Amino acid sequence: MTKLEKIICEVSRLASNMYRLGWDERNGGNISRIIDDDEIDGFIDVNDVKRTIPIAFDASQIAGKMFIVTGTGKYFKNVEIAPQTNLGIIRICPDGKNIDILWGYEDGSKPTSELPAHLMTHIERLKKDSQHKVVIHTHATNTLAMTYVHSLDEREFTKTLWQMCTECIVVFPDGVSVLPWMLCGNDEIGRKTAEKMRDTRLVVWAQHGIFGTGKSLDEAFGLIETVEKAAEIYIKIMNMPRINTITDEQLKLLANAFGVQVHEGYLD
């Protein structure tokens, strides 16, 4: 199996996993991963362009980069069954306003409608971390529920999550950014998300879902998974008197013990 075939399998398995978790109903959610030149590994001919289509965003900053991206309107439960239909490999054209389809989308479809948000996020995360590769958007159930009953203040939202489980401040010490409800699938939400990604690797879309990023599919999924576990605990206990909690001093002890840099100003 080539490197690229392994990546296609990893993305397919992740899509199935998130569907089984109930996070990606119907055609909800999307995944994109940067494909490096050395990962092509002869599986596709990069000179064999199947189609060229316009995109609603100037991606010239990442011209030439290749991505594997879930398709628009595609059900995550079907990705593992037919990856060549539900996924595609794209390359950003030199003008930044078009993409070449190099593989996949065999039924004539195209990348997710959230592609602008993904590409904008990739651009910002690459500025922060040259090893960045992955963007995942999913409708994690308890995280979504939390946005209905908790303040959307980023410091308060983050601290509540940190207090729900000892590992949280270690896994996402940079915290969680939060956007109020916005119309999805357009440049505005993409820009706002990318702006937040300058400071955090996680952005919650109120009443919608969450964006997570990372150096690998496992890292990006693991971030979202940890937030979702913390949100589930919060939803279960929110109407009960809280007799015990993880204090700010204990959170500081955790951060020091694991050598992580905590978001400035989030701990008293």
25 an active-site residue? no
Tell me the CB-side half-sphere exposure of residue 65, using CA atoms within 13 A.
19
User: Which domains are delineated in the chain?
Assistant: 1-112 (3.40.225.10), 114-263 (3.40.225.10)
List pLDDT tens digits, range 98-150. 999 999 999 999 999 999 999 999 999 999 999 999 999 999 999 999 999 99
List pLDDT tens digits, range 49-101. 999 999 988 999 999 999 999 999 999 999 999 999 999 999 999 999 999 99
Measured distance CA(267)–CA(260) in Å, rounded: 13
Q: Residue 140, SS3?
A: coil
Q: Which of 80, 114, 225, 228 is catalytic?
A: 114
pTM of the shown model: 0.95
Helix 217-237 with 141-149: angle, nearest 10 deg: 50
For residue 90, list its beta bridge partners.
67, 101
